[in-house]
Each structure stands twice: as C-alpha cells, then as structure tokens.
Amino acid sequence: MANSKQAKKRIRRNDSRAEINKSRVSRIRTHIRKVEEAVTAGDQTAASTALKSAEPEIMRGVSKGVLHKKTASRKVSRLSKAVKSIA
C-alpha cells in the first residue's frame, strides 16, 4: 500500500492513464476489424476507405505510446496487402 503522498498520486495517475490507453487500443482494434471485415466481404471500396481511416489511427497509437512503431508498420502493411489482394 502506498504511504507517501507522491505514491498515492502516482497510483491515481497510472489508473487514469491506463483507462485512456485502454480506450485507444480498443479504438485501433475496431478500425482494424472494420478493414478485415470489408476484405472478407470482398468489398474493395469499403476496405480501402476503412484502411484510409485505420492507418492514421494506428500511427496515432504509435505517437501516444500504446503501440510499437514496427508493430504498427507491420499491421498497416498487412492490411494494405489484404486490401490489394481483393482487386
């Protein structure tokens, strides 16, 4: 249990940051899922528009520190490859 004032504040801050990061990761996963669903449906226009909205969201996750840079690049690369394969 935290005893000092600083440690108590750190616990509060960690909890609030964890909530924010959780919502960011959830938002990224939702965007990725929309692209994958459009790809499995075979809808090229929906897949490309979903990819265009997912890519900045993924990169925003990198800048905010919830994803590693190379992980995000790999995800974007695989999604764009999947969208290309529909054509």
Q: How far apart are CA 32 and CA 49, in angstroms?
A: 12
Q: Please report, for the chain, the start and end positions of each structural domain, with discontinuous segments joined by +.
A: 5-86
pLDDT of res. 81: 97
Mean pLDDT of 47-72: 97
Q: pLDDT of 3-58, one tens digit each?
A: 899 999 999 999 999 999 999 999 999 999 999 999 999 999 999 999 999 999 99
**CA distance linking residue 77 with residue 84, whole number of Å:** 11
Which of these CATH numbers, 3.30.365.10, 3.40.50.1100, 3.40.50.1970, 1.20.58.110, describes 5-86? 1.20.58.110
DSSP assignment of 15-71 equals HHHHHHHHHHHHHHHHHHHHHHHHHHHT-HHHHHHHHHHHHHHHHHHHHHTSS-HHH
* pLDDT number for residue 87: 77
pTM across the whole model: 0.87
User: What is the distance of C-alpha 78 from the center of its chain?
Assistant: 14
2 — pLDDT class (breaks 50, 70, 90): confident
